[in-house]
Each structure stands twice: as C-alpha cells, then as structure tokens.
Structure 1
Amino acid sequence: MKKIILTVAAVFALTFANAQDKKESTGEGFSNGDLYLTGTAGFSSSKTGDLKNDGFTLSPGLGYFIADNLAIEGQLTYESTKVDNGISEDKTSGFGIAAGVKYFWTPASKFSLSIGGNLSYMSTKYDNADVTTKEIGVNIPLGLNYFVSNDWALTAEWGGFGYSSNDNGGDGAEKTTGFNLGVDLSTISFGLLYKL
C-alpha cells in the first residue's frame, strides 16, 4: 500500500510540474521559437508665428527567438515631415529598413531587460531641393519589455551607442559621419509588442 501511495504521489507531482512548465511557456514572457510583432509610431506638431512644423513616423517590426535568450529582428520605417512658413512648404519623406539581434536577460518573466545590435539603411527625399539622401547606421540599443497580459507588452528602447554615415545626396556632396553615445533619456522611444 505504501508503494501505491508513493507512486500516485509521484505521478501527481510530475503532472503538476509538467502543467507548470506548459503554463510558463504559453504565459507572459518569451521562449525559444516565439514570434512577435513590435513597433512605434509618433506624431509631432509645433507652431511659432507663421512657421508650422509637422512630423509623422511609423516603424513596424518583427522578431523571432532563435534561442531562449536571443532574438533576431527586422524593422521598416516610414517618416514624413512638413515645414510651412506661410509662404512655401518644405516636405520630406523617408523609408528605411533595419535588421539585428537582441539578447534578453530574463526572457521568460513578466519584465525583461535587453541589449541589441542592428544595422539600418534610410533613404530620405527632400521634395523642394529634389535631393535624396542615403544614410547607413549601426546602433546598440538598451531596452525593456513589460508584459501587461500573456500576449501584449509595453516596450522602451534607448539608443545607447550609434554610428551613422549620410551621403547628403551624393553627386560630390561631402558625407556626414557621426558617433553618438546617449547618456540621458532624450533618445528613449516607447512602443507596443504583440506575441503571436
């Protein structure tokens, strides 16, 4: 009788442990093989006298966990700005693409910190000047995710270190290159993430 009770107890214990593992893998947080959609959107508008400046940015992205702590990501970006001084309008529009990797310290938990590395390309057209600039960049952002449900998370990303090179339209124009090390929170961006 003692062996039967111990066997039943062992079966219940293993079943409970297995149920807990399944709950963790389908609950909040990430695990190997998870696919997610992420992105940011922004709108800005300012006016000083007759000068009005409007801007819009949309950056959807897709990520996939290739290991428990490591995800690969891809992102598209669309930007549009309009400056109106009451006499004329200057419009710009840009399209960009980025790809990279991101390492998560505690991916299976509700709250996770991350560090990443990505390579980006952005093409921006200035309508009035009839010039198109091309910019490449490398960025090492710090980030965090906070799951508010099993599928939705709030995200924040801070561009810690970056390098960029802009051809300023080419055709003999001098390139602009720059390094950026952000130590304040002025470069922080917020977004949403949906785990598929």
Structure 2
Amino acid sequence: MKKVILASAIALFGMVSAQESETPGFVKGDTFITGAVGFTNSTQGEVKNNTFTIAPSVGYFVSPNIAVGVRAGYTNMNETDKTTSITVENESDTFAVGAFGRYYYTPASRFSIFGELNANYGNQKFTNTVGGVSTDAKFNAFDVNIAPGVNYFISKNFALEATWGVLGYSSFKQDVAGAESQDNFNIGLDLNDLSLGLVYKF
C-alpha cells in the first residue's frame, strides 16, 4: 500500500509568520517544513488495527544546493484480534528522532531532483494482552537510509514532494540484557516505497 504523507506544514502554517519569496525554488538561507500526519483504520475479519502517526521535519539550506535538517516522530498502533475465544490485543508506542542531509540539483528552479541521506534512532514500548493478562517489552532501533526524490513548486512557498525507494541499513534490538539485534539491509525501488508530501518554504 502506498504511503501518502500529509505535510505537518499545513497544521503549522498558521503558526509561522514569514514573507513569501519572490520566485519558486530554494536558495541559500531558506527554511522548509514537511512531515507526516496520518491516521489509518483497517479491519480484516475479526482483526482491527488503528494507527496514528505524526512526524514533522524541518530543513535549512546551508548552501545553494545542500540542506540539512532534523525530524521527530510518534506512532501509536493498536490491534485487536477476536478470531478465537480469547481476545488478543497488541499496542505499541514508538518515538523517533533523526537528522538528514539533502543535495538538490537545480534547487532554484520550480522543479528539482534531490538525494537524501538520513539517520534515525527510535524506541518502542510494546504491550501484548491475552485474556486480560498483559506483558510489556521495550525495543531500540537505529537506521541509516539513502533515497532519491523530486520537488515541484506549485506556488512561491508550497511544493509537492515525492521520494521513492531506499538503500538502507536497520538494527532492531529488545532492551534487555543479552538480547541480540536483528540487522537488515534493504534495497527497494517499487511503488510501495513511494511517499508523497507537501513542503512549506519560508
């Protein structure tokens, strides 16, 4: 399923006071906001899943072609399974922080291509409840990714953004003594890795 990113810039727009640039595109000194705000609800038979995500990002152009930034995120997932006589519930809360760098080709024009390198750290609390009895587990995660993207300005300050595919490494480990990490390398270029978003520049 495609991941459609709804920019947190929309929610933050009313909080930002800034003058519009004269022309579309990015120049040195520009700051931009993007990110994800979303809620999904799915039902398959007796299994129901609700997921809420908020993940704003802020970037700054330190040179005509290079932008650096930070991001943070929170995701809550709740799943209920009633396929048997005993109800099973799974809930997780995930917090993440990260940093990224981008190199833009023709950033001062309406259309540009960029490559992004990002590194992220997160921790997750997972609760499994079976028949009213709960057990908790905590996990730590780290990942590094490289992804290409495109940017197209639809007005002086708003742009559409798309990224797809990933070349990355991730490590996932339970937060207990002696636990072994699960390490993965990933290369993906299919449409399931497509992310669409909106960027606000000020």
Q: Could you say which TM-score interval applies, normalised by the shorter chain?
A: 0.7 to 0.9
Residue 100 of structure 1: how far off its partner (Å) = 1.7
Q: Is the 8 A contact 2:49 2:78 kept in 1?
A: yes
3-state DSSP of counterpart to 2:109? coil
User: RMSD in angstroms over aligned alpha carbons?
Assistant: 1.4
Which of 165-174 and 97-106 deviates more?
Answer: 165-174
Residue 44 of structure 1: how far off its partner (Å) = 2.4
Supply the distance in 2 between the matched residues of 1:147 and 1:194 (Cα, whole angstroms): 10
Aligned to 1:134: 140
Which amino acid letter does the alignment assign opposite residue 136 of structure 2? D
Aligned to 1:180: 186
Supply the distance in 2 between the matched residues of 1:185 and 1:162 (Cα, whole angstroms): 17
Aligned to 1:103: 103
Q: Say if 2:49 is the partner of 1:43.
A: no
Unaligned runs of 5+ in 1: 1-24
3-state DSSP of counterpart to 2:97? strand
3-state DSSP of counterpart to 2:164? strand
Q: Is the 8 A contact 1:94 1:125 kept in 2?
A: yes
Aligned to 2:72: 76
3-state DSSP of counterpart to 1:89? strand
TM-score relative to the length of structure 1: 0.83
Residue 172 of structure 1: how far off its partner (Å) = 2.0
Supply the distance in 2 between the matched residues of 1:188 and 1:41 (Cα, whole angstroms): 16
| Per-residue deviation, residues 7-47 of structure 1 (Å, max 9, x unmatched) | xxxxxxxxxxxxxxxxxx63111000001111122332221
TM-score relative to the length of structure 2: 0.81
Aligned to 2:11: none
Residue 82 of structure 1: how far off its partner (Å) = 0.6
Of 177, 184, 197, the residue aligned with 1:191 is 197
Aligned residue pairs, count:
172
| Per-residue deviation, residues 82-123 of structure 1 (Å, max 9, x unmatched) | 101132421101010110210000101111110011110011
More helix by share: 1
State percent identity of aligned pairs: 39
Which amino acid letter does the alignment assign opposite residue 191 of structure 1? G
- Change over 3 Å in CA distance of 1:130–1:181 after alignment to 2: same
3-state DSSP of counterpart to 1:132? strand
Supply the distance in 2 between the matched residues of 1:180 and 1:165 (Cα, whole angstroms): 11
Supply the distance in 1 between the matched residues of 2:22 and 2:186 (Cα, whole angstroms): 39
3-state DSSP of counterpart to 1:186? helix
- Change over 3 Å in CA distance of 1:140–1:95 after alignment to 2: same
Aligned positions of 1:18-167 closer than 5 A: 26-86=22-82, 87-128=87-128, 129-167=135-173
Supply the distance in 2 between the matched residues of 1:161 and 1:107 (Cα, whole angstroms): 23
> Rg bigger for which structure?
1
Q: Is the 8 A contact 1:40 1:190 kept in 2?
A: no
Supply the distance in 1 between the matched residues of 2:76 and 2:88 (Cα, whole angstroms): 17
List structure 1 segments (4+ residues) > 6 angstroms apart after TM superposition: none
